[in-house]
Amino acid sequence: MFQCVCPKLEQILAIIFLSLSLAFPVKSADAGRGERVEVNNGVVATDETECSRIGRDTLARGGLAVDAAVAATLCIGVLGPADSGLGGGGFILVRSANGEAKVFGMIEMAPGRANKWKVSPLSIAVPGQLAGLFTVHKLYGKLPWTSLVKPAEALARKGFNVSRSLFHKMATAESNIMANEELRSIFAPNGQILNQGQTVCLRKLADTLAAIAKHGMKIFYNRSIAESLAEDIKRVSGIVTKEDFQKYQVITREPLVAHVLGYKILTVPPPASGGAVVILILKTLSKYKDKDILPTPLQVHRTIEALKYALALRMNLGDPEFVNITSTLKLMISNSTAEKLGSLIDDNKTFDPSHYGSKWDQLNDHGTNHICIVDRQHNVVSMTTSINTKWGSKVMSPSTGIFLNNQMYYFSNPTSKFRPGAPANFVSPFKRPLSSLSPVILEKGGRVRACIGSGGGLLIPDAVTQVLQNFFIVKKPSFDAVKAPRFYHRDYSSGIGDRYTYSSEILKELKKRGHHLRRAISGMTTCQFFSFSFFFVFDELTTCQSVVQILEGSKNGQLVAISDPRKGGFPAGY
């Protein structure tokens, strides 16, 4: 068994797809520095430029949004194996051009021998990504499955250039890679870690993709790949069996729906919790009449306080197949709860953790990848995938080349030392863990106006909320809304700023109100988004990764995509 044990990376990558108000925005002085594409038909935005191009090419040869999502996601698993891949899972939100929307839960599943008393950071759950991709393709895809897998297979077999992001993750794991013969042969073939721009090949993974291209998901969950993975997991004392693979099923649900500021929000219901958190925070902040231009100490303070209440509430959520979460979910998306939280927030001070209703330890989820796609017919896909921490369980299956997840770590721990683990999220056999993933699609007047999502684990709701707040409440120009400083709240202290920092005046005022602040790592979140506009009114979209404008009703129906300076990936369209 080949293991890559790398230290936990503090840098969390996030991709966000967003929209803004119908009012004509003021052009940002920084927008249009070359991180821009103008197209007429469809756009794919991922955190890997080559994967965006593969998705775009899929659309250009007649594919639909789901086709492009399959091709681009498999590509991401090759170019970014530390964050996502066949060994992981996630959620897919699909909105068809006819207005119908569905959620496909492909989050990992606890194995049949799972025990809530034996969960460690290396715990491997049953992967769900391939089942999710295959399911949505069967329902919504147009192009042959094989043709969608082949581009990722070719990249893995022929090799690809090491990106800045992958080089950083390899470098932090250098000692562990050098100590393992197989990993050394892949990532350090000449005795030292490959540099950015050098070529890396993943031939075992290419063989796995070739088998999947030919046989679909059956070979992964019911045949030889399932057998190989189960044996490889067993060799590192894992408990996932071939029978667990056979039992895995994608869970299809209706989207969680709420209305905020005249927009209809479609997002992913539990066991994903990020969408409910974002809805509650935005509803709470929208109740204030004094919507000052951000950033002001008061607005930042209110947002941090709303986050504390929302994060405390969300720990009562869990897998609805195992726990009754109906009342908690209704509470989180109700207007009355938002009104109450607004009245509880004191503009002049913060409180002890017990004041916010926190009884349970928070989640410990980590980085992910997000992808958003719109095709020529205006079918939309918003999808987040993950293997949890960087390099997942730190275990690479030698027979398949797949890096395996450690999503069992998403479950709450009953022996937590800080605060008790949340009972609704305790491990049970075949249960899905609670997560912060939050793919979102926004509508207005029955038409799609935006697609948003994020990576970054526990920090996902923080990033999504702040960019949406900048657009919908403060009416910032899109590029400025994305570039603006961000804070990240965790464990009742707040990380302030990343690449772009708050002023000393704001930090001073926050400390005066009682906030415990620490410097955040640069690039903890990056953003991306698409939006649609109608009747000659255009919406600029932004995400930490790219911004998209759609002039629906203009002469040419132009699409404009702009990349955020925090991340190296670029969108691609045609």
How many whole angstroms separate alpha carbon 392 and alpha carbon 386? 8
SS3 333: coil
Q: What are phi and psi of 295, to 5 degrees?
A: -95, 135
410 in Cβ contact with 364 (< 8 Å): yes
SS3 422: coil
What distances in angstroms separate CA 120 from CA 5, 128, 181, 416, one per listed residue?
A: 14, 20, 26, 12
Give start and end residues of each alpha helix (H) in 315-468. 326-332, 335-344, 460-468
525 in Cβ contact with 545 (< 8 Å): no
Instruction: For residue 364, say whether it is annotated as part of any ligand binding site.
Output: no
How many whole angstroms separate alpha carbon 85 and alpha carbon 78? 7
Instruction: For residue 388, say whether it is annotated as part of any ligand binding site.
Output: yes
Instruction: For residue 435, say whether it is annotated as part of any ligand binding site.
Output: yes
Angle at CA 418, nearest 5°, toward 526 and 453?
20
Instruction: For residue 386, say whether it is annotated as part of any ligand binding site.
Output: yes
Tokens read off for 122: 């290396």
Question: Residue length, the chain?
Answer: 574
How many whole angstroms separate alpha carbon 478 and alpha carbon 541? 6
- Number of DSSP helices (H) and strands (E) in the chain, helices first: 18, 22
Instruction: For residue 124, say whether it is annotated as part of any ligand binding site.
Output: no
Tokens read off for 92: 């897919």
Instruction: For residue 493, say whether it is annotated as part of any ligand binding site.
Output: no
What distances in angstroms separate CA 257 from CA 44, 150, 208, one per listed residue?
A: 25, 36, 38
Exactly one of 58, 135, 368, 542 is catalytic; name it: 368
Give start and end residues of each alpha helix (H) in 484-559. 504-512
Q: Which residues contact 326 (CB under 8 A, 6 or more apart)?
A: none
Give start and end residues of each alpha helix (H) in 102-217. 129-140, 145-158, 164-172, 174-178, 181-187, 203-215
- Establish whether 368 is a catalytic residue: yes
State CA 486 to chain mean position distance: 17
Tokens read off for 249: 């099923």
Annotated binding site: 386-388, 435-436, 457
Provide the annotated active-site residues: 368
Annotated binding site for L-glutamate: 386-388, 435-436, 457
